Amino acid sequence: MMDQSNFSVSPLDFNLSDEEYDDDDYEDTPLAKSLNIMSLIVYSLAFVLGVVGNGIVIWVTGFKMKRTVNTVWFLNLAVADFLFTAFLPLSVAYTAMGFHWPFGQFMCKFNSTLSFLNMFASVYILVVISVDRCVSVVRPIWAQNHRNVRRASAVSFGVWLFALLLSSPYFVFKDTAPDHDSPDKINCFNNFAFSDDYEKPEVVALRTLRHRAMIITRFLIGFVLPFVIIISCYAVIIHRLRRNRSMSGRTGRPFKIIAAVITAFFLCWAPYHILVLIEMVHHMREKFNPSLQYVATVGIPIATSLAFLNSCLNPLLYVFMGQDFKDKVRRSILKVLETAFTEEISRTNTCTNSMPTIRTKENGSKSFSDAEV
């Protein structure tokens, strides 16, 4: 029997865990049904927009454009989102079937792991983009000599390995088992103790400890650390641009696109991380607070749906921020995305040495200025 005594889980964990909702009848309430319908709509929308939008981005950056450092970054970001959204129908089916998982244990592990692989890969690709922009502004000559497609591809590969390492515990702990109320229903849940014993205090304590450790680690490594690095990079960039007025005019569209992608990621994921933390802290307290429990129970499914939507937002941002609206409606999708991703490499020394601007072309293609963000 699954333990009903601890905290609920996010739909990122498919609404089922060895720490389940406190109320066994919750799934039959109008609130739960409404949240499930909302989740189905959002998941379906994210699937359609994410697969189509990210598929187009992959096609353009991978096959139609000259390979540059920027296209490598955005190609990897699109691949992460595409993989995640491509498997969303499994989550749709699971929710629609009343949280019955008919796809087997491996797919239970794989689907959950893919969700967090997407999160970790996306956020650390954004970290790499921010560091790349910072280095290009602060050390333009060094960036001109060392910044190339081969190194960008190697860094991207390293990000994927790191993200896979961080998401691997979700593959290890995921499990399937018959529901204790409906033996015909198979649950996909977190088995943090690798045990079906839900009675012994030491086993329950081990589950709770590992669950909390994963939540805290995910919050610190998957949100706080990347956020601090990104904010620091852009603080340095803004400081340098204020000192060097000649570089300010080159920021323009590339800065807005990257800033919008980063802002969208953190706005979409921040509510999820915060609400999961609130719920964990609430259940660590001795006194039960029904208001906090209600906020978590209602807020976490909504926050998770918002996080899912992030995977289909980036292609829309590339299009609608790539150029003026009137130009967008006149041009093809290919041309719009090429404009959004074009990277012009121009190296500009700082005002202190007053050296003339050096312009080069990477792989013979037009590209964003390295002084641009």
Q: What share of the chain is helix, strand, coil (3-state, %, to 5)?
A: 70, 5, 25
pTM attached to this predicted model = 0.80
- Give domain limits for the chain: 11-340
Residue range 129-183, pLDDT digits in tens = 999 989 988 898 998 898 999 999 999 999 999 999 999 999 999 999 998 878 8
pLDDT of residue 1: 37
- Looking at per-residue confidence, does 85 or 339 come out higher? 85
Q: List the structure tokens of 332.
A: 């093809």
- Nearest 5 degrees, angle CA 281-CA 283-CA 286? 105
**Cα 147 from Cα 342, distance rounded (Å):** 16
pLDDT of residue 64: 79
Residues of the chain with pLDDT > 70, as a percent, come to 75
Asked whether the beta carbons of 172 and 189 are under 8 A apart, the reply is no
Most confident of 22-26, 198-202, 321-325: 198-202
Residue range 333-353, pLDDT digits in tens = 666 667 677 654 444 444 444
- pLDDT higher than threshold 60 for residue 331: no
**Cα 100 from Cα 45, distance rounded (Å):** 22
pLDDT bracket for residue 315 (50, 70, 90): confident
**CB count, 10 Å around CB of 83?**
16
Give the CATH class of 11-340.
mainly alpha
pLDDT of residue 253: 59
- pLDDT higher than threshold 60 for residue 370: no
Residue range 5-32, pLDDT digits in tens = 344 444 455 433 334 344 445 566 788 8
pLDDT of residue 360: 42
- The answer for residues whose C-beta is within 8 angstroms of residue 101's C-beta and 6 or more apart is 14, 94, 108, 176, 186, 187, 188
Of 34-38, 196-200, 310-314, least confident by mean pLDDT is: 196-200
pLDDT bracket for residue 87 (50, 70, 90): very high
**Cα 235 from Cα 322, distance rounded (Å):** 24
